[in-house]
Structure 1
């Protein structure tokens, strides 16, 4: 196999970024995409979306097992339908993007995710909004691995246990469909699988830490810092693509 395009330092930073995102998602119910994806893109574009999507699948399985007693599948089935539609649309878009175009789309969608998070919108948790939020989440999640903000909007007024359980089920489905979409679009190769095997320890460490902090740190305590990092990283991705 050819040499990895990442140095040992880059792999270490990638594991730290993924661990931080897994810790956040373990406490708040979502966040590995919002925090980790833009940082990983700046470390190396090779880490997104494929490698992070596979890591997200592992994390959502762990979270679903931890929060299984609070799961209400009926509440997320409509969002899953929307996610399938959004993922299919994203897979089509990905086949038509150049590397520079991908970077530009990545940065724009990151900033859109931040915008949705700070917009103050409070849509009701109903069938229509679930399908719409699931569709946008699926589209954004496939291209950037950041699918949390749209679906989190409709769950922001729900109990924390329900949020963690239902969003874990949704993100597991979304990550799996995104993986298939990326595979069909030619964005998953041996390199992504290798990078996944080298960065999944970050998920395991972050998830383990979240279990220790689950009832000690409010889910929204780090929100301003996380959104600031995401906004700066998304802007950096746009600048990087335009310069390329």
Structure 2
């Protein structure tokens, strides 16, 4: 039985997440997942993955499209190969264990990007980012920070377009795999569909910001939200 007041109340978190993702290219799951885990953990990760279809479609349909096809192709290959591991994680590990692993990986990636070591956009780094997203995106719906870090020095519109395509196709891969494994429920599907209007409103509210972001501001925003992602997931694991 779906608790519709809770589901609709969580629409506010999806609105905020869509606002963030529409502005910098990713962040919807980062913002919304902690609230969903607290108030409706049975909807994770399937319901949030459903929302990964809607916003990218709007972004790719209405905004200028500039996709880094080579990076996208390598990242999708990595995601396809490692998605079965993500499904196994959902089936075998606890939410706390998954959360800690994801948070540590995100924070280590941010720490690396802040050192003198430059994360270059290469086939190897794109495959690695996609592989990590195959695991974490399937298990927790949070897979964007890894590829965002690889793309952080690209033009803002290229980052947003490439991530939108990655989220769309990655959601297809992950939900299909979860469905085959019996880990994707009808309740998750219906709840995810109910959040779509909130996501569209968040996209519309972010429109004035999209044209004002330059590359360096985008990079700082990406790194900042990666930190938020890691810290929020750790709090979810150890506090909630």
Instruction: Give the TM bin, normalised by the shorter chain.
Output: 0.7 to 0.9
Q: What TM-score do the two structures reach when normalised by structure 1?
A: 0.84
Q: What TM-score do the two structures reach when normalised by structure 2?
A: 0.86
Change (3 A) 1:80 1:211: same
The equivalent residue for 2:177 is: 181
Q: Which moved more, 1:197-206 or 1:14-23?
A: 197-206
The equivalent residue for 2:234 is: 235
Separation in structure 2 between the aligned mates of residue 234 and residue 74 of structure 1, nearest angstrom: 31
Mapped pair 1:113 → 2:106? yes
Matched position secondary structure for 2:113: coil
Matched position secondary structure for 2:33: helix
Map Cα deviations across residues 112-164 of structure 1 (whole Å, 9 max, x no partner).
32442354253111111111111111211000110011111110100101111
Match of 2:13 among 11, 17, 20: 17
Separation in structure 2 between the aligned mates of residue 224 and residue 80 of structure 1, nearest angstrom: 22
Matched position secondary structure for 1:186: coil
Q: Is the 8 A contact 1:80 1:134 kept in 2?
A: yes
* Runs of at least 5 residues in structure 2 that lack an aligned partner in the other structure: none
Separation in structure 2 between the aligned mates of residue 158 and residue 85 of structure 1, nearest angstrom: 26
Change (3 A) 1:193 1:130: same
Separation in structure 2 between the aligned mates of residue 238 and residue 230 of structure 1, nearest angstrom: 12
Give 1:225 deviation, angstroms.
7.1
Q: Is the 8 A contact 1:106 1:143 kept in 2?
A: no
Match of 1:155 among 126, 141, 151: 151
Count of residue pairs the alignment pairs up? 234
* Runs of at least 5 residues in structure 1 that lack an aligned partner in the other structure: none
Q: Is the 8 A contact 1:60 1:168 kept in 2?
A: yes
Match of 1:197 among 193, 196, 200: 193
